[in-house]
């Protein structure tokens, strides 16, 4: 079975400093991994996805993530945080198998706080 674990429930950074949100995954198969962001009272927006192509994935708004199979990790980074980055971030794996179509498995989320 697939699962994801987000290692930090809350991360606080200062504006202009780097962002690191950590995610480990568990999967018996080559996973499809995603990062989504949710701003208050909004739906989920896809930041980036990994689907077995390049291991370094670039997303929107300057975010990127690196797939490391040896470490079963898919950490999200951004070189310089903006105030508008403050939100909830979810690491997500696509459930595998014909009986699991259309199912995404979500981590518990990391709240990113950006201080001025």
Partner 1 sequence: KAGVTQTPRYLIKTRGQQVTLSCSPISGHRSVSWYQQTPGQGLQFLFEYFSETQRNKGNFPGRFSGRQFSNSRSEMNVSTLELGDSALYLCASSLQGAYNEQFFGPGTRLTVL
By DSSP bridging, strand 73-78 and strand 64-68 are: antiparallel
* Nearest residue (CB) to partner 1, 17 versus 55: 55
Q: Does 50 bind partner 1 (CB under 8 A)?
A: no
Contact 113, 89 (CB under 8 A): no
Among 46, 54, 60, 83, binds partner 1 (CB under 8 A): 46
The stretch among 14-22, 57-65, 75-83, 98-106 that binds partner 1 (CB under 8 A) is: 98-106
* Nearest residue (CB) to partner 1, 10 versus 116: 10
Among 14, 61, 100, 113, binds partner 1 (CB under 8 A): 100
Q: Distances from the Cα of 72 to the Cαs of 4, 50, 55, 69, 75, in angstroms?
A: 10, 13, 12, 5, 10
**Total site size for partner 1, rule CB under 8 A:** 25
Structure tokens at 52: 């077995």
Contact 55, 66 (CB under 8 A): yes
Q: Does 43 bind partner 1 (CB under 8 A)?
A: yes
Sign of CA dihedral 102, 76, 109, 40: negative
Closest approach, Cβ 37 to partner 1, in A, equals 11
Task: Give the residues lining the site for partner 1 (CB under 8 A).
Answer: 32, 34, 36, 42-46, 49, 51, 90, 94-95, 98-109
């Amino acid at each position: 079975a697939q699962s994801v674990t987000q290692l930090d429930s809350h991360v606080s950074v200062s504006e202009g400093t780097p962002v690191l949100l950590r995610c480990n995954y568990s999967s018996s198969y080559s996973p499809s991994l995603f990062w989504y962001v949710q701003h208050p009272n909004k739906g989920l927006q896809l930041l980036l996805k990994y689907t077995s192509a390049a291991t370094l994935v670039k997303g929107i708004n300057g975010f990127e993530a690196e797939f490391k199979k040896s470490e079963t990790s898919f950490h999200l980074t951004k070189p310089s945080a903006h105030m508008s980055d403050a939100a909830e971030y979810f690491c997500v794996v696509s459930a595998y198998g014909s009986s699991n179509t259309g199912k995404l498995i979500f981590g518990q989320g990391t709240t990113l706080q950006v201080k001025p």
